[in-house]
């Protein structure tokens, strides 16, 4: 029986989706007003990034209260209405659980600061080393040291992200019970999915032997991580088989992912790993300017596809999220082949084995923001990166170019609904600037055009629902040695699928050993080509073919 194999998740970044009251910030009534568009697209689950009360140093990933709605997004009644209205349209809500850290404005941290020992033990405190230096050399993911000093206590607290995000002490059973209780609270509200933020960082190793690299080896996939996830599963979402879960697993290994995402279901349903989105980091440095390494991209996609399949574990399929620049600019070509490259990337990703996660705006090939000055940026990581790159001595022009291609704000632009003011996102002043001048690229126009990127996404989502070979078939890599071409086969009970995608800007000729009997289902070009023993693929040409599989024919 299928649980999530035929589902497609759509990420909503509520701040940038739809503003209903003209304050320039997207909100829950705005989302409700757009549910019909999402139903038309065919997505089944809506992942909302955090909408809890928060001081907003990291756009809501600094949670001050896990059981309430931030007034800027609406009320709990609005949320309950959203669940109901989504349900009416066959869609489920997935909530974002930020359990590695809380906001320093959270009641627990405030009580800890005030000296309540019960709550002090919810966080990770250390004194300086004997020579007066920081407790360890660990670095914050947003730059600078991961320790913040609290003079009244004479101690430091750990923050792997912003100093407004204090890391929780998961070795304390009370913290684990609180988190399970929060999951159950949202399950009681009808939530049927959970995305767990940086969840493989929650188990910190003993602090004695520090000073290795930036410290990440001490807490990435830490010593008790599998135990913690199994316990959370038992005490919350594992009690309802309809709930689906995904862990954001920054830099996890394939070996760990196999266990996190085993279809046996003791931990999570699936994980996001980001290795394939670091193929344009020069020497692993994000703040660098580099074209993606397509050979490495293919190697990683195939390794994770076959690696998870071997142990009957499940994958996620994505190139976009609110932390990533837009894939159509990163791997495609928005100037000459915006439609073809957006469609090719979508086909290549979504037809693999796993659950697709789309980022709002991806389905209309939204571009990066094209910011030209620092003032336009909002993201804490980008603002810190500016300073870090300045210290490295980079020219401002170079820094702006790197931010322009790598900043998280690129994925956070406001939705391009139509050709009205601010593309229909708000009647007020948007919190971040996005502008699409060409009406052809708005959602409204793309819905009318059968050859649009939006319609291509709609077809892919429907194909997953109607074809077992795509939902549950096995994955076999093809053409492994052909540079820039990503090809594979999916084999189901009655049918096989063949997907061939060129990510190159120039034509490429390939030979196909097994070219018989395929019929073309979908192409990134309006005039797609049939499968043949020798084929010349045009720039960003991607094709999906089906045929009955041999076993069925023999019957």
Structure tokens belonging to residue 492:
């189901």
Contacts of 484 (CB under 8 A, 6+ apart): 294, 502, 503, 504, 508
What does the alpha-carbon distance between residue 29 and residue 31 come to, in Å, rounded to a whole number? 5
CB 526, min distance to ligand TEU, A: 36
Among ligand TEU, Ca ion, none, residue 468 binds (CB under 5-8 Å by kind): none
216 touching ligand TEU, by CB under 6 A: no
Within 10 A of 439 (CB to CB), how many other CB atoms are there? 13
403 touching ligand TEU, by CB under 6 A: no
Strands 355-359 and 9-12, sheet pairing: parallel
Among Ca ion, ligand TEU, none, residue 409 binds (CB under 5-8 Å by kind): none
Among ligand TEU, Ca ion, none, residue 25 binds (CB under 5-8 Å by kind): Ca ion
21 or 110, CB closer to Ca ion? 21
CB 23, min distance to Ca ion, A: 4
319 or 544, CB closer to ligand TEU? 319
List the catalytic residues: 197, 248
CB 463, min distance to ligand TEU, A: 29
Q: Contact with ligand TEU (CB under 6 A): which of 198, 202, 279, 389?
A: 198
Report phi then psi at 485, rounded to 5.
Answer: -115, 130
CB 19, min distance to Ca ion, A: 4
CA angle 26, 30, 34 (to 5 degrees): 125
CB 428, min distance to ligand TEU, A: 25
| Residues 488-547 close enough to bind Ca ion by CB under 5 A | none
Which of 243, 235, 248, 305 lies closest to 97, judged by CA? 248
317 or 482, CB closer to ligand TEU? 317
CB 80, min distance to ligand TEU, A: 25
The answer to whether residues 471 and 460 touch, using CB atoms and an 8 Å cutoff, is: no
Helix axes 380-391, 396-406, angle to 10 degrees: 150
71 or 132, CB closer to Ca ion? 71
What does the alpha-carbon distance between residue 29 and residue 102 come to, in Å, rounded to a whole number? 26
250 touching ligand TEU, by CB under 6 A: yes
161 touching ligand TEU, by CB under 6 A: yes
Among Ca ion, ligand TEU, none, residue 253 binds (CB under 5-8 Å by kind): none
Dihedral sign for Cα 442, 445, 447, 449, please: negative
Among Ca ion, ligand TEU, none, residue 61 binds (CB under 5-8 Å by kind): ligand TEU
| Size of the residue set binding ligand TEU (CB under 6 A) | 14
Residue of this chain nearest to ligand TEU (CB atom): 61
385 or 522, CB closer to ligand TEU? 385
CB 197, min distance to ligand TEU, A: 5
The answer to whether residues 500 and 510 touch, using CB atoms and an 8 Å cutoff, is: yes
Contacts of 165 (CB under 8 A, 6+ apart): 57, 58, 61, 62, 101, 102, 103, 104, 159
Among ligand TEU, Ca ion, none, residue 57 binds (CB under 5-8 Å by kind): none
CB 386, min distance to ligand TEU, A: 14
Chain Cα centroid distance, residue 454: 19
Which of 154, 402, 366, 198 lies closest to 285, judged by CA? 402
CA angle 274, 301, 227 (to 5 degrees): 50
Determine whether 288 is exposed, middle or buried from the number of CB atoms within 10 Å of its CB (0-12, 13-18, 19+): middle
Strands 147-150 and 316-317, sheet pairing: unpaired
Q: Contact with ligand TEU (CB under 6 A): which of 5, 197, 269, 409?
A: 197
DSSP state of 134: -
Binding mask 4-33 for Ca ion (x = CB under 5 A): ---------------x-x-x-x-x------
Among Ca ion, ligand TEU, none, residue 161 binds (CB under 5-8 Å by kind): ligand TEU
CB 83, min distance to Ca ion, A: 19
Q: Contact with ligand TEU (CB under 6 A): which of 286, 299, 447, 465?
A: 286
58 touching ligand TEU, by CB under 6 A: yes
246 or 366, CB closer to ligand TEU? 246
378 or 456, CB closer to ligand TEU? 378
Contacts of 288 (CB under 8 A, 6+ apart): 281, 282, 402
Which of 165, 178, 169 lies closest to 104, judged by CA? 165
Question: Which string of DSSP letters, residue by residue, matches 470-510?
Answer: HHT-EEEEE-TTSTTEEEEEEE-SSEEEEEEEE--SS-EEE
Question: Which string of DSSP letters, residue by residue, matches 23-75?
Answer: SSS--HHHHHHTHHHHHHHT--EEEEPP-S----TTTTSS-S-TTS--TTT--
| Residues 323-342 close enough to bind ligand TEU by CB under 6 A | 323
Binding mask 462-501 for ligand TEU (x = CB under 6 A): ----------------------------------------
What does the alpha-carbon distance between residue 396 and residue 414 come to, in Å, rounded to a whole number? 26
Binding site for Ca ion (CB under 5 A): 19, 21, 23, 25, 27
Binding site for ligand TEU (CB under 6 A): 58, 61, 98, 141, 161, 197-198, 248, 250, 286, 322-323, 381, 408
């Amino acid at each position: 029986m299928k649980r999530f194999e035929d589902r497609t998740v759509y990420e909503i970044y509520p701040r940038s989706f739809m503003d209903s009251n003209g304050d320039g910030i997207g909100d829950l009534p705005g989302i409700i007003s757009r549910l019909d568009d999402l139903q038309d697209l065919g997505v089944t689950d809506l992942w909302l990034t955090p909408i809890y009360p928060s001081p907003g140093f990291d756009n809501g990933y600094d949670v001050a209260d896990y059981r309430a709605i931030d007034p800027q997004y609406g009320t709990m009644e609005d949320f309950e209405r959203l669940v109901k209205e989504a349900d009416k349209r066959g869609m489920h809500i997935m909530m974002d659980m930020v359990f590695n850290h809380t906001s320093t404005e959270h009641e627990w941290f405030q009580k800890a600061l005030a000296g309540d020992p019960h709550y002090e033990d919810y966080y990770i405190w250390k004194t300086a080393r004997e020579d007066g230096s920081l407790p360890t050399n660990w670095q914050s993911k947003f730059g600078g040291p991961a320790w913040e000093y609290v003079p009244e206590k004479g101690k430091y607290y750990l923050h792997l992200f912003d100093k407004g995000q204090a890391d929780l002490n998961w070795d304390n059973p009370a913290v684990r019970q609180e988190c399970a209780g929060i999951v159950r609270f949202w399950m009681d509200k009808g939530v049927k999915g959970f995305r767990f933020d940086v969840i493989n960082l929650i188990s910190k190793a003993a602090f004695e032997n520090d000073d290795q690299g930036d410290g990440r080896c001490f807490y990435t996939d830490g010593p008790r991580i599998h135990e913690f996830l199994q316990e959370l599963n038992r005490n919350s979402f594992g009690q309802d088989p309809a709930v689906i879960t995904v862990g954001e697993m920054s830099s996890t290994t394939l070996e760990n992912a196999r266990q996190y995402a085993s279809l046996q279901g003791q931990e999570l349903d699936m994980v996001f790993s980001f290795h394939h989105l670091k193929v344009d980091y020069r020497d692993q440095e994000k703040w660098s300017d580099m074209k993606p390494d397509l050979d490495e991209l293919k190697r990683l996609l195939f390794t994770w596809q076959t690696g998870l399949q071997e142990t009957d574990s499940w994958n996620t399929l994505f190139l976009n999220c609110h932390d990533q620049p837009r894939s159509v600019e990163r791997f495609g070509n928005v100037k000459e082949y915006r439609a073809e490259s957006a469609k090719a990337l979508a086909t290549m990703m979504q037809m693999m084995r796993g659950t697709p996660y789309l980022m709002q705006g991806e389905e209309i090939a939204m571009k990066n923001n094209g910011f030209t000055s620092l003032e336009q940026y909002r993201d804490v990581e980008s603002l810190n990166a500016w300073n870090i790159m300045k210290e490295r001595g980079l020219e401002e022009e170079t820094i702006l170019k790197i931010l322009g291609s790598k900043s998280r704000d690129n994925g956070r632009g406001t939705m391009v609904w139509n050709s009205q003011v601010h593309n229909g996102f708000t009647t007020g002043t948007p919190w971040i600037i996005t502008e699409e001048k060409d009406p052809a690229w708005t959602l409204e126009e793309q819905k009318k055009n059968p050859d649009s990127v939006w319609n291509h996404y709609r077809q892919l989502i429907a194909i997953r629902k109607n074809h077992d070979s795509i939902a549950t078939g096995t994955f076999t890599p093809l053409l492994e040695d052909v540079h820039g071409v990503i090809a594979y086969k999916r084999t189901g009970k009655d049918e096989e699928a063949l997907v061939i995608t060129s990510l190159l800007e120039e034509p490429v000729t390939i030979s196909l050993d097994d070219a018989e009997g395929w019929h073309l289902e979908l192409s990134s070009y309006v005039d797609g080509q049939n499968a043949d023993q020798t084929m010349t693929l045009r720039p960003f040409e991607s094709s999906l073919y089906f045929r009955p599989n041999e076993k069925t024919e023999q019957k």
